[in-house]
Amino acid sequence: MSTPAPHQIPTISTHFASLEDPRHTFLNDHPLINILTIALCAIIAGAESWTDIESFGHNKRAWLSQFLDLSKGIPSHDTFGRVFARLNPEQFQACFMSWVQAVFEVTKGQVIALDGKNLRHSYDKALGKAAIYMVSAWADGNELILGQVKVTDKSNEITAIPTLLNLLDIAGCIVTIDAMGCQTEIARQITDQGGDYLLAVKQNQGNLYDDMVLFFDLSHQNGFAKVTHTYHQTINGGHGRIEKRRCWAISGEESLVFLRTHRDWAKLSTIVMIQSERQLDGHISRETSYFVSSLPNDAQRILQAKRSHWGIENKLHWVLDVAFREDDCRVRQGHAPQNLAVLRHMAFNLLKQDNSGKGSIKAKRLKAAWNNDYLLKVLSG
């Protein structure tokens, strides 16, 4: 990348300086830092396509000229598309994570939820290209995206999760993952990196699931009188809806040995059952879930951690779909879908951390489009 202009926004120019320009240097009318900055500003302000980004650049050229050398003008939408299609996604992701760690204060000891999301319209039937799938790490306490990894073709989350964990500082944190991540190797990696795990157990776990269901059934029949356990319950409601969650946590070697595979799980301390009940308009639905965990036996803390995991769906994936219209995005060429997803994550983090006024992410994007001073404030972190 070329040397940034003196008045350039420092967080971007510093943490993305190592990003390699995929173009031939003698053909570069527009420095890479210009393309990155204009694209990020445009997405913060509501852009959803390369054409939107180019239009934003033309309309905001005078303002952008305060930070960028725009003597060669604004890049075309084709230039934006080509650059992001060829940009090395691993390098871009590494720069993103360096930027997050430097700009945002990440609280130690919080819940870090790992979950995947399908970018539905990133497929290309003509090229036989399936929609890409991204696994993200969500720090619920800070409401921040810490990082993301694309699931490789003909693979699944099981291979992407260890890669993402390797990039994260999870020491002292609680890592929550749905059933796909319930693997002994992943549990060991989390504890080796200094974290605790809370992993969902589903029927695909075979003996482990069957043993837990049977053990909790027997314990429940005996009123949990013969096991070391804790219990916690929460009740929430509103608008005719009542949600009740009950959590039982059991620990102790005399209980864990009931699981045929208990020794395969690194630092296994507690097994958990959570019953969820939802009442709405006279209809009642119930669900029972099971978990293995390295956490101490504290049902209240465990239930809170599980509820925090749901934040990645409600506070992140839902917002990306509704406010950023991620599922409607039809960018498909090369690495562009993955790199554009990282740009959206950058914009999300910056907008989410702005506390200067109330409002949804969508409202903040509109304000950023209308108000240059606010856009600069958001961009500066």
Range with top average pLDDT, 15-24, 126-135, 163-172, 350-359: 163-172
pLDDT tens digits for range 182-233: 999 999 999 999 999 999 998 888 799 999 999 999 999 999 998 999 999 9
Query: Which residue, among 142, 136, 143, 202, has the nearest Cα to 163 in the 3D structure?
Result: 136
For the beta carbon of residue 336, count every other beta carbon within 10 angstroms. 22
Record the pTM.
Answer: 0.88
Query: Which residue, among 86, 70, 102, 74, has the nearest Cα to 23 in the 3D structure?
Result: 86
Question: Pick the residue with more confidence: 159 or 106?
Answer: 159
Q: How confident is the model at residue 345 (pLDDT cuts 50, 70, 90)?
A: very high
Q: Is the dihedral of CA 181, 321, 138, 17 positive or negative?
A: positive
Q: What is the mean pLDDT of residues 102-128?
A: 75
Query: For residues 323 and 47, is the Cβ–Cβ distance under 8 A?
Result: no
Q: Domain residue spans in the chain?
A: 10-101+333-379, 200-297
Query: Which residue, among 100, 105, 110, has the nearest Cα to 308 in the 3D structure?
Result: 110
With 50 as the cut, is the pLDDT of residue 4 above it? no
pLDDT tens digits for range 133-146: 889 999 998 899 99
Structure tokens at 22: 């995929």
**Would you list the DSSP string of 257-323?**
TTSTTGGGSTT--EEEEEEEEEEETTEEEEEEEEEEESS-S-HHHHHHHHHHHTHIIIIIIHHHHHT
How high is the pLDDT of residue 1?
39
What percent of the chain stands above pLDDT 70? 91
How high is the pLDDT of residue 127?
55
